[in-house]
């Protein structure tokens, strides 16, 4: 640490202390209910200005890497500052509603974990991935809810759009505010809650089978060997394919045959019921193993998980996984409501958050996220038991 860092950090520290007290006094003295509309608007602007100034300083302090982090900024201190910002956001919200003479509705109290910033980034990324997925399906004129078929999850083929650079590039201008880094004024509490809950639920919908499958592979419960995987997760089906009118491989167009020749290929049948040439399927899976493709291998025909079929998981896990997936699919109306909100949103329309139906939606999403957390917890316990049994 050099001298200039110490100087700047000390000045910052004292400035922030002063500012926090000012902000806290401001919150304590403000009674949103008794203000006239004009007064409320003035005070709201005042709150926003304070918030802007205040956040700039907190961000500067928390952004410095831990080796450079001045000792004055203990974790406790930072937490205290974050709490003040939260309180100010709540005050800002009350004032915003009072200024527009709208009835305020309660938002779910979301407990922030110890690693709130990273958690928030991850959740935002998943909410945005869901949004990009929705835009794509819309432009393709397809249904937004392909929850039927063998693919267990709705936002299944979205993993490639989780790349932050891709997200920034592809998100329409109307929605770019969702990714704005280092914002001077934090997002409204309504939007924070939407991103948090939708992101959490989307992550749960998207990621569980991938994660479980990876864990099973890493524990040796599913072979790493591509040829073995193909053997384990498919059935030889050359005769069946030909008899049912599938004479050739859909990838390389060689005729299906078990004859040991170079110009034909034996067929296999995947869990999702598609016929593919054995060699082509091996090469297809290999591109995931080499890291050329993200996520876990999917069927070239229908994009179902090739190895994550529920039937292929250890038997003890299956009922719990089925319950989990059934729960994820149990409220399409709520999903649709959340999707419509995301699609229609733009930053200037933050005032649109006044609609009390948003409060109802958030409360329902919150209950859902709690139940999902419970189910995931149970699933992980079972995976852990399987892992232990396997190790014996």
Residues that bind Zn ion (CB under 5 A): 249, 251-252, 265, 272, 274, 277, 280, 299, 301-302, 304
CB of 245 to Zn ion, least distance (A): 17
Least distance in angstroms from the C-beta of 161 to Zn ion? 21
Residue 205's contacts (CB-CB under 8 Å, 6 or more residues apart) are 153, 154, 155, 328
Tell whether the torsion through CA atoms of 366, 372, 376 and 382 is positive or negative.
positive
Nearer to Zn ion, 280 or 342 (CB): 280
Which lies closer to Zn ion via its Cβ, residue 61 or residue 268? 268
**Of residues 81 and 274, the one with the C-beta less far from Zn ion:** 274
Long-range contacts of 73-77 (CB under 8 A, 24+ apart): 73/9, 73/13
Buried b (16+ CB within 10 A) or exposed e, 324-352: bbeebbeeeebbebbbebbeebeeeeeee
Specify the 3-state DSSP secondary structure of 377. helix
Report the Cα 372 to chain-centroid distance in Å.
Answer: 13
Q: Measured from the CB atom, is 76 or 262 closer to Zn ion?
A: 262
Closest CB 304 distance from Zn ion, rounded Å: 5
Contact (CB, 8 A) for 233 and 272: no
Q: How far is the CB of 251 from Zn ion (least distance, A)?
A: 4
Place of tokens 């995976």: 383
Question: CA–CA separation, 337 vs 227, rounded Å?
Answer: 44
Report in angstroms how near the CB of residue 310 gets to Zn ion at its nearest: 15
Q: Which is nearer to Zn ion, 12 or 299 (CB)?
A: 299
Q: How far apart are the first and last CA of the chain?
A: 51
Report the nearest approach of Zn ion to the CB of residue 267 (Å): 9
Of residues 301 and 318, the one with the C-beta less far from Zn ion? 301
Which residue of the chain is nearest Zn ion when measured via CB? 277
In whole angstroms, give the CA distance from residue 58 to residue 384: 40
């Amino acid at each position: 640490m050099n001298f200039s860092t110490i100087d700047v950090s000390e000045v910052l520290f004292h400035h922030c202390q002063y500012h926090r007290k000012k902000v806290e006094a401001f919150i304590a003295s403000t009674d949103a209910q008794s203000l006239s509309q004009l007064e409320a608007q003035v005070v709201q602007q005042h709150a926003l200005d304070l918030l802007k100034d205040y956040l700039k300083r907190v961000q500067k302090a928390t952004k410095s890497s831990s080796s450079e982090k001045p000792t004055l900024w203990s974790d406790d201190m930072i937490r205290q500052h974050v709490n003040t910002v939260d309180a100010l956001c709540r005050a800002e919200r009350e004032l915003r509603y009072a200024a527009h003479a709208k009835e305020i509705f309660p938002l779910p109290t979301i407990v922030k974990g110890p690693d709130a910033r990273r958690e928030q980034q991850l959740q935002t990324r998943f909410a945005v991935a869901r949004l990009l997925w929705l835009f794509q399906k819309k432009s393709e004129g397809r249904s937004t809810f392909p929850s039927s078929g063998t693919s267990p999850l709705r936002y299944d083929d979205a993993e490639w759009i989780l790349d932050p650079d891709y997200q920034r590039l592809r998100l329409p201008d109307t929605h770019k505010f969702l990714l704005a880094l280092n914002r001077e004024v934090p997002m409204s509490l309504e939007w924070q809650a939407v991103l948090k809950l939708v992101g959490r639920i989307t992550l749960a919908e998207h990621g569980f089978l991938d994660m479980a499958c990876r864990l099973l592979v890493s524990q040796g419960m599913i072979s790493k060997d591509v040829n073995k995987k193909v053997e384990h997760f498919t059935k030889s089906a050359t005769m069946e394919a030909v008899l049912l009118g599938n004479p050739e491989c859909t990838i390389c167009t060689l005729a299906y045959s078990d004859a040991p020749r170079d110009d034909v290929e034996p067929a296999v049948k995947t869990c999702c019921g598609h016929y593919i040439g054995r060699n082509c399927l091996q090469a297809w899976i290999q591109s995931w193993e080499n890291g050329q493709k993200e996520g876990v291998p999917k069927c070239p025909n229908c994009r179902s998980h090739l190895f994550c079929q529920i039937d292929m998981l250890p038997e003890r896990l299956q009922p719990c996984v089925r319950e989990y997936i059934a729960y994820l699919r149990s409220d399409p109306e709520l999903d649709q409501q959340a999707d419509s909100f995301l699609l229609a949103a733009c930053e200037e329309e933050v005032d649109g958050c006044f609609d009390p139906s948003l409060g109802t939606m958030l409360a329902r999403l919150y209950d859902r996220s709690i139940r999902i957390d419970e189910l995931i917890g149970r699933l992980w316990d079972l995976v852990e038991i399987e892992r232990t049994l396997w190790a014996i």
